[in-house]
Amino acid sequence: MGEVDAAFIQATEHRPKLAVVEADGIPLIDLSILNSPDSPEPNTTVVRPLITEIGEACKNWGFFQVINHGVPFKRRKSLEIAARKFFALWKEEKEKVRRDEVNPLGYYDTEHTKNVRDWKEVFDFTIQNPTLLPASLEPDDKEVRECINQWPENPPELREECEHYAEEVQKLAYKLLELISLSLDLPANRLSGFFKDQTSFIRLNHYPPCPVPHLALGVGRHKDAGALTILAQDDVGGLEVKRKTDGEWIRVKPTHDAYIINVGDIIQVWSNDRYESVEHRAAVNCKKDRISIPFFFNPAHYTNVKPLEELTDDQNLAKYKPYNWGKFFATRKRSNFQKLNVENIQISHFRLLEKSV
């Protein structure tokens, strides 16, 4: 990752200049009311202003930051330190836990993917171990397979730090899910049942210094396919969000001990487009490396994703036909290993044509 050859430069020459607007950034929301010893229930009048604030952020931005969220900073920092130790290992050592088509969990870098213009290396692990995913992409095939976390021998503390951190950030995910549900005028627990056998995973991202930052991205523009993403980024920063009002790219400045939250495609479908998943990307730095840790909160593989019945009626018709999350997710994973002859699957492929009046 540290060397840049002619092939890389040639592959990235088509990139446009990464124009970024410096602005105050996405909404910053204080969750302290939920983390006090006498914390009220999420559907009480006291919490209603917070619910409204969450709803407005989801509607207008698709992104927001949270502070006083309840996840101990030392837990997050310990994981970041362990992650840096892992990524500092010799390449041969990291390759021992390389992911493949059989097991999509573990280590990989962009030198081995079709997306050669991205500049990063990654380690993935799931919250539930093992995690069940479809064994086949065939629509009628119900067979599943177990995906099992791969843990490196070094650093020896990485597994423990990952598992402790996962416990904490998962609590935050469920709190946010309740608030989002309430902001849609649904019961607090309306969405929780979809995550009984969740396919959630955490990714440790390492972005090495890039000698040609104007020609590369840490990760290109995309939308997240799952329900929610909870991102921890270090003080270097690099996340950029496409602002809905004018399409400008906004740099999200690092805020100490904050998490960046974004609505994923699943919540866009569940909400029938009341909330929208928004494009984002990650910039690289020519002098400093960067660590980011996203938690992708995803439902069970057998979940059929469709607009919620409570949010559709004769005046608000369903805008998407149902799709199976496991098949959708497995198709996305498969595209990381082989060049498909079709566009990567998107929720737009399930959008229903609006009836003419």
Residue 321 pLDDT exceeds 60: yes
Supply the pLDDT for residue 74. Answer: 96
Give the residue, 357 or 152, on which the prediction is more confident.
Answer: 152
Among 16-20, 33-37, 138-142, the minimum mean pLDDT is found in 16-20
Is the pLDDT assigned to residue 205 strictly greater than 70?
yes
Question: Do 313 and 296 form a contact (C-beta atoms < 8 A)?
Answer: no
Give the integer Cα–Cα distance in Å for 49 and 28. Answer: 14
Q: Quick one: pLDDT at residue 340?
A: 45
- Domain positions in the chain are 6-350
Architecture category of domain 6-350 in CATH = Sandwich (2.60)
| Percentage of the chain lying above the pLDDT 90 cut | 68
Q: State residue 131's pLDDT score.
A: 95
Query: Can you give the pLDDT at residue 174?
Result: 97
Nearest CA to 232 out of 213, 255, 214 is that of: 255
Q: How confident is the model at residue 320 (pLDDT cuts 50, 70, 90)?
A: very high
Peptide bond into 130 cis (omega under 30): yes
Choose between 47 and 211: higher pLDDT.
47
pLDDT at 287: 87
- pLDDT score of 343: 57
pLDDT of amino acid 46:
83
Residue 178 pLDDT more than 80? yes
Residues 240-245: contacts with CB under 8 Å, at least 24 apart: 240/18, 240/20, 240/280, 240/281, 240/282, 240/283, 241/26, 241/61, 241/62, 241/63, 241/278, 241/279, 241/280, 242/278, 242/279, 242/280, 243/21, 243/61, 244/60, 244/61, 244/62, 244/276, 244/278, 245/60
pLDDT tens-digit map of 238-283: 899 999 999 999 999 999 999 999 999 999 999 999 999 999 998 8
pLDDT score, position 1:
55
Cα–Cα distance list, 340 to 335, 336, 344 (Å): 6, 9, 8
Eight-state DSSP code of residue 344? P
Q: Judge whether 341 and 211 are in contact, CB under 8 Å.
A: no
What average pLDDT is seen over the chain? Answer: 87
β-bridge pairing 63-67 and 28-30? parallel
Residue with the bigger pLDDT between 115 and 314: it is 314
* Tens of pLDDT, residues 118-154: 789 999 999 999 999 998 888 888 899 999 999 999 9
Q: Residues 6 or more apart from 206 whose CB is under 8 A from it?
A: 83, 84, 87, 120, 121, 122, 289, 290, 291
Confidence of residue 24 (pLDDT cuts 50, 70, 90): low
Residue 355: predicted pLDDT: 52
The 10s digit of each residue's pLDDT in 158-173 is: 999 999 999 999 999 9
